[in-house]
Chain A
Amino acid sequence: MPHIALLESQPGIRGAMAFRPETARPLNDLVEVLLHAPNSLSPGERELIATYVSYLNDCHYCQSIHGAVAAAHLDGDEELVHRVKADFEHAAISTKLKALLVIASKVQRGGKHVTAEDVAHAHSLGATDVEIHDAVLIAAAFCMYNRYVDGLATIQPRDEAMYRERGKMVARDGYVSVSKTYLPAEPVTR
């Protein structure tokens, strides 16, 4: 049971966002820019970073839904998503993405762990400053989303089909558009 009175019909972050639409809006706007908006990193690559960090933070809901969004962007390749979580250095992804995942995993532990060598390595494999910035911020942002989802003890179903279905919808329509299905249409009065 969630720690506070969240709608049990809305699992994970959706229940928390429906509870507090004022914070839901910037939270959705941020994830939209980071994971869905046009970028030199593909949406699949960015979702893999989000999934990997959520996996390191052991957040079931976030790693399931973002893993499903990643797979939807990657022609349904769920095996690749599993490989990245288990051992990304040996997964079939670009060397640039591996270097960005190293940076993301350092940020997950604490931003000060990122070294000049980590960044030089990513640069040498073709990563731009914006790509490095976005990898850092995706990792940092999922340290927020994961704690938000777990800290309220939201409902986190063990139902792969639900995540798969939802993942396809988010990959197609994006976060802001999908949020209209669970956020109230009118501003709340408090």
Chain B
Amino acid sequence: MAHIALPEGLPGISGAFVFRPETAKPMRELAHVLLHAPSSLTPGERELIATYVSSQNECYFCQASHGAAAACHMGEDDVVRRVKTDFESAPVAPKLKALLAIAGKVQRDGKLVTAEDIERARREGASDLEIHDTVLIAAAFCMYNRYVDGLDSWQPRDDGMYAQMGQHLAEHGYLKSSQR
């Protein structure tokens, strides 16, 4: 049971969003800009960053739902598993590996990101905007993960549910239908 009276039957962050719509709105908008709106990083790449950070933070709901969204964008789920276990050897672009290294540092503490980490990303072709968005995606998932776990929200073990959720997120993004 969740720590506070969240509406029943809504998994993970969805129950918290219904409980407090005033904070849900900017949180949805932020996720939408970072993960779904047009960007030089593909939605699949951005979802992989979100999934990796959520996996480092051990948030079951976030890594399952964003992992499913990433798999839907990429057309396969093996790459998602490989990024979570060892992204340096995963079949993803060298630029994305450099960005994942930055995201992994931010997950622990922003101050761990070094000039060398940034140089590596630039050398692989990352723009300032892509580096900015990587830092903010990693930082934002340190929020979403703590929010979902800190309220002890309901996080079902149900692969089918996450696959469906991932497909919906990949197709429609993060805004409520009334916000789109």
Enumerate chain A interface residues (CB-CB to B < 8 A): 3-5, 16, 19-20, 22-23, 25-27, 29-30, 33-34, 37, 57-59, 103, 106-108, 110-112, 114, 116, 119, 129-130, 132-134, 136-137, 139-141, 143-153, 190
Q: Tell me the nearest residue of chain A to B39, going by C-beta.
A: A190
* Supplied contacts A114-B152, A143-B142, A147-B138, 16 more A-B pairs, CB within 8 Å: A5-B128, A20-B132, A23-B34, A26-B29, A26-B33, A30-B23, A33-B26, A37-B22, A103-B150, A108-B146, A114-B150, A119-B4, A143-B139, A147-B107, A151-B102, A151-B111
Contact A145 B26 (CB under 8 A): no
Q: How large is the interface on B (under 10, 10 to 19, 20 to 34, 35 or more residues)?
A: 35 or more
Q: Which listed residue, A33, A130, A132, A140, touches B147 by the CB 8 Å rule?
A: A140
Specify which of B37, B59, B140 lies most central, judged by the most chain A CB atoms within 10 Å of its CB.
Answer: B140
Q: Which listed residue, A112, A133, A139, A144, touches B4 by the CB 8 Å rule?
A: A133
Chain A residues near B110 (CB, 8 Å)?
A: 59, 146-152
CB distance from B132 to the nearest CB of A (A): 6
Enumerate chain B interface residues (CB-CB to A < 8 A): 3-5, 16, 19-20, 22-23, 25-27, 29-30, 33-34, 37, 57-59, 102, 105-107, 109-111, 113, 115, 118, 128-129, 131-133, 135-136, 138-140, 142-152
Chain B residues near A146 (CB, 8 Å)?
A: 110, 139
Chain B residues near A119 (CB, 8 Å)?
A: 3-4
Contact B4 A129 (CB under 8 A): yes
* Cα of A30 to Cα of B28 in the assembled complex, Å: 10
Q: Which listed residue, A33, A143, A150, touches B146 by the CB 8 Å rule?
A: A143
Contact B150 A111 (CB under 8 A): yes
Chain A residues near B113 (CB, 8 Å)?
A: 3, 150-153
| Residues A26 and B26 in contact in the complex (CB < 8 Å), given A111-B145, A148-B110 | yes
* Cα of A131 to Cα of B82 in the assembled complex, Å: 40
Q: Tell me the nearest residue of chain B to A135, going by C-beta.
A: B150
| Residues A144 and B142 in contact in the complex (CB < 8 Å), given A3-B131, A4-B131, A22-B33 | yes
Q: Tell me the nearest residue of chain B to A57, going by C-beta.
A: B109
Q: Tell me the nearest residue of chain B to A39, going by C-beta.
A: B22
